[in-house]
Amino acid sequence: MVIGAGNAGMDVALGAYAMGAKKVTAVDVQRPAAFKKEIDHVKALGGDVIWPFFTEKIDERGVHGKDGSLIEADMVIISIGERPDLSYVPREWLTDRGMMDVDGCWQSTKAPGVFAIGDTIIPGLLTHAIGQGAEAAGHIDTFLTGGELVPKKKLDMIPQGCLSKELFRPQNRGRFCVTDAKTETDRCISCGTCRDCSMCLEACPEGAIRRVEKSGGGFEYISDDHACIGCGICSGICPCGIWQMELVV
């Protein structure tokens, strides 16, 4: 049984099925926050998603609801999400919802020199936290060197059709085991930047793309306008949607 039917709860339910669970029931105090396709996936495997259900206690028989009901279970996993403990932050720095109140440069609106990103702003995605962290680092550098903080222009999202999911290594196929969990932390999390896979470099029929090492350990892939014949192979092969074809004549 899983207490909490958000996306993480549905992950837990699917993991339980992958590890041999015979029947998984997920409960929630409110309409489950998980995406419909996640819930449908669990239901298709025979799982139940029950709400509203308010847990009174857990004992060896299962989970007891506040309404006196009992859902029998031999294993209970609590997956009710996490949010940051900001109790050490002065109340006036927080929004009405208790999250850090920041401007477009990730700087606190109440405390200049204090920057906040990620789940302290709003519980979101890993990729949001990484992107905001990279931007905030730049703003902090500007702040410390006495420059003017200017919000970064919001980048256009890469169209989903330009992402080739087939080229990402599938995770957790079949039974889940401990080694999978360890390698999870090493894998590409697809934060929307170039993975340095060099597929474009190798695939370009005109040798128009080159990889340039930058100072500080960075790198850049550059396409030579004069050599490029506009075949679109780089754009098609890139798993991250980095190359966008543009009509220039």
Residues that bind ligand SF4 (CB under 6 A): 194-200, 204, 206, 208-209, 221, 223, 228-234, 237-240, 242-243
CB atoms within 10 A of CB 240: 21
Region binding ligand FAD by CB under 6 A among candidate stretches 16-24, 121-129, 141-149, 235-243: 121-129
Q: Which residues of 210-230 are buried (b: 16+ CB within 10 A; e: fewer)?
A: eeeeeeeeeeebeeeeeebee
User: Smallest gap, in angstroms, from Cβ of residue 122 to ligand FAD?
Assistant: 9
Does 166 help bind ligand FAD (rule: CB under 6 A)? no
Tokens of 168: 């990402």
Residue 8 binding result from ligand FAD, ligand SF4, none, given CB thresholds of 5 to 8 Å by partner type? ligand FAD
Is residue 126 close enough to count as binding ligand FAD by CB under 6 A?
yes
**Least distance (Å) from ligand FAD to the CB of residue 170?**
15
**Cis peptide bond upstream of 112, omega within 30:** no
Q: Residue 58 pairs with which residues in a beta bridge?
A: 63
Query: How many whole angstroms separate alpha carbon 157 and alpha carbon 120?
Result: 23
Contacting ligand FAD (CB under 6 A), which of 70, 125, 150, 245?
125
Q: How far is CA 173 from CA 42, 166, 221, in A?
A: 16, 14, 33
Tally of residues, the chain? 249
> To which H or E segment does residue 87 belong?
none
Asked if 37 is part of the footprint of ligand FAD (rule: CB under 6 A), the reply reads no
Q: Which does 127 bind (CB under 5 to 8 A by kind): ligand SF4, ligand FAD, none?
A: ligand FAD
Q: Which residues bind ligand FAD (CB under 6 A)?
A: 8, 81-82, 118-119, 124-127, 129
